[in-house]
């Protein structure tokens, strides 16, 4: 159950922690839908952000709310009942158009990064979450663009067969919920190198604390290297769903084969050269 207190006017956005009865995914009625047309939006700092939301005409009585989810926090963004929300306005007058609940957020900043959900509630005491859109992830470009990407440190390192190598990967905690996986190669035949949640990977160990709230370090360590480890490695963030969908991975380096006695191992932002002695 959910109780929504009156909003407070405090920039950059009114803060309110809420717990919903249903997850912010899927629907609870096949005949009624909340549609968010874009799964992700990227804007520059200082610009105006438009978030689309359309509610089926056959809608049960009850309000529509917008929330932002960032890590474990859920924040009320807009409620369409006339309350004051700094920087947030509705696109259409919902008194006359009761299907379009799109909003605009002005003067966007990095603090606005997160996943935004348009949620339909039913009238109760208190109101209950009924059905939600699938969410729109918002990233903000500008001087802080890099901190909203999957990051891998660029380095060139020479290692010998049998040695251990560390592969760095940092994933912002503001990204949508979902797992992080390491792959070798790309496309349908790519090989899973490490899954932080499940699986058995005897030569691979995690370095950070991926289960700790707010963790951003998804680096791994591979031991007992051999020529079979040559390839392109990807640290990939997925968005939780049924099934999970790939959300973001950084750019990969170009594979450059070496002489017969040397193998070049290229990772996302990481070059490894192995001496086969």
Spell out the long-range contacts of 21-26 with Cβ–Cβ below 8 A and sequence spacing 24 or more. 21/128, 21/129, 22/129, 22/130, 22/131, 22/132, 23/132, 24/67, 24/69, 24/115, 24/117, 24/119, 24/132, 24/135, 25/132, 25/134, 25/135, 25/240, 25/241, 26/131, 26/132, 26/134
pLDDT reported for residue 103: 92
Report how far residue 130's alpha carbon sits from residue 111's, in angstroms, rounded to the nearest whole number: 28
pLDDT reported for residue 11: 42
Cβ neighbors of 170 (< 8 A, separation 6 or more) are 150, 151, 152, 216, 217, 218, 219
Residues of the chain with pLDDT under 70: 1-31, 58-59, 72, 94-97, 124-129, 142-148, 152-159, 174, 213-214, 250-277
| Size (the chain), residues | 277
Domain range for 250 is 149-275
Q: Which of 174, 58, 78 is nearest to 119 (CA)?
A: 78
118 and 223 in a single domain? The answer is no
pLDDT reported for residue 8: 41
92 and 172 in a single domain? The answer is no
| Model pLDDT for residues 242-274, shown as the tens digit of each residue | 888 778 775 442 222 232 233 344 333 344 444
The CATH number for 181's domain is: 2.60.40.10
pLDDT reported for residue 57: 72
The token pair that represents 248 in the structure block: 């973001």
Domain assignment present for 105:
yes
117 and 177 in a single domain? The answer is no
Domain assignment present for 18:
no
How many distinct structural domains can be found in the chain? 2
Domain assignment present for 62:
yes
Strands 49-51 and 103-105: antiparallel
| Model pLDDT for residues 196-244, shown as the tens digit of each residue | 888 889 999 988 777 776 677 788 888 888 888 888 888 888 888 888 8
pLDDT reported for residue 258: 30
163 and 119 in a single domain? The answer is no
Please check whether residue 246 is in contact with residue 186, taking contact to mean a CB–CB distance below 8 angstroms: no
Please check whether residue 44 is in contact with residue 38, taking contact to mean a CB–CB distance below 8 angstroms: no
């Amino acid at each position: 159950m959910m109780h929504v207190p009156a909003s407070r006017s405090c920039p950059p956005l009114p803060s309110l922690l809420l717990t919903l009865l249903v997850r912010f995914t899927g629907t609870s009625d096949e005949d009624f839908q909340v549609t968010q047309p874009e799964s992700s939006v990227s804007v520059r700092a200082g610009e105006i952000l438009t978030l689309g939301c359309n509610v089926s005409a056959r809608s049960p009585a009850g309000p529509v709310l917008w929330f932002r989810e960032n890590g474990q926090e859920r924040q009320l963004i807009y409620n369409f009942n006339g309350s004051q929300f700094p920087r947030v306005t509705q696109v259409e007058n919902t008194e006359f158009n009761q299907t379009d609940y799109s909003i605009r957020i002005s003067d966007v900043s990095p603090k606005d990064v997160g996943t935004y959900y348009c949620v339909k509630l039913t009238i109760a005491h208190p109101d209950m979450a009924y059905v939600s859109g699938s969410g729109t992830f918002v990233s903000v470009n500008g001087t802080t663009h890099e901190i909203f990407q999957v990051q891998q440190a660029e380095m060139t390192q020479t290692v010998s067969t049998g040695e251990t190598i560390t592969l760095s990967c940092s994933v912002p905690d503001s990204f949508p919920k979902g797992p992080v996986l390491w792959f070798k190669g790309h496309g349908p035949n790519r090989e899973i190198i490490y899954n932080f949640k499940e699986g058995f990977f005897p030569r691979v160990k995690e370095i950070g604390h991926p289960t700790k709230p707010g963790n951003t370090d998804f680096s791994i360590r591979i031991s007992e290297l051999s020529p079979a480890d040559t390839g392109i490695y990807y640290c990939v963030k997925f968005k939780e769903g049924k099934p999970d969908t790939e959300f973001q991975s950084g750019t990969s380096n170009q594979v450059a084969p070496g002489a017969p006695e040397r193998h070049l191992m290229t990772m996302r932002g990481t070059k490894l050269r192995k001496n086969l002695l």
